[in-house]
């Protein structure tokens, strides 16, 4: 049987009924998104909104088609850890995009959990 997490990671652990698998925590920093399209490879400056064990939300000035793959590079505040993670655009609302992490490594998962322990829960 797995150990109970030290901090809440799912809405169920807080008695919430939501469709998300993981709780989201605020993160407001600049990040870089790398995408490939017919015109080649592009690096875009974006702003993060929140992060969870399974993905993150960000604001991007360029249209990112749903189901397109990308790479996110973000430096976490306070810890200084830099994450480079492959992701998939799952949804959008205006310039706000929901990204699902793909093939996240155990060390990256541990870094995200460590950040979330000290971050404020997101209202989104």
C-alpha distance from residue 101 to each of 6, 66, 95, 114 (Å) = 22, 14, 19, 17
Confidence of residue 8 (pLDDT cuts 50, 70, 90): low
**What is the tens place of the pLDDT at every residue in 69-111?**
999 999 999 889 999 999 999 999 999 999 999 989 999 999 9
Instruction: Decide if pLDDT at 120 tops 50.
Output: yes
For 38, the token pair is 């017919």
Better-predicted residue by pLDDT, 3 or 63: 63
C-alpha distance from residue 66 to each of 69, 79, 88 (Å) = 9, 31, 8
What pLDDT does residue 38 have?
A: 84
Using CA atoms, how far apart are residues 113 and 54, in angstroms rounded to an integer? 11
Instruction: Decide if pLDDT at 42 tops 60.
Output: yes
What pLDDT does residue 37 have?
A: 83
Domains and CATH numbers, the chain: 11-118 (2.40.10.220)
What's the rounded mean pLDDT across residues 23-48?
Answer: 94
What's the rounded mean pLDDT across residues 23-39?
Answer: 93
User: What mean pLDDT is reported for the chain?
Assistant: 86
Instruction: Decide if pLDDT at 3 tops 70.
Output: no
């Amino acid at each position: 049987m797995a150990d109970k997490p030290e901090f809440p990671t799912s809405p169920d652990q807080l008695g919430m009924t939501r469709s998300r698998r993981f709780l989201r925590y605020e993160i407001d920093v600049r990040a870089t998104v790398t995408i490939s399209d017919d015109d080649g490879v592009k690096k875009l400056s974006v702003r993060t909104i929140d992060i969870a064990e399974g993905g993150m939300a960000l604001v991007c000035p360029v249209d990112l088609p749903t189901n397109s793959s990308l790479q996110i590079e973000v430096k976490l505040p306070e810890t200084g850890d830099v994450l480079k993670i492959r992701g998939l655009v799952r949804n959008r609302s205006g310039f706000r995009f929901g990204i699902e992490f793909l093939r996240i490594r155990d060390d990256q998962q541990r870094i995200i959990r460590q950040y979330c322990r000290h971050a404020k829960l997101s209202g989104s």
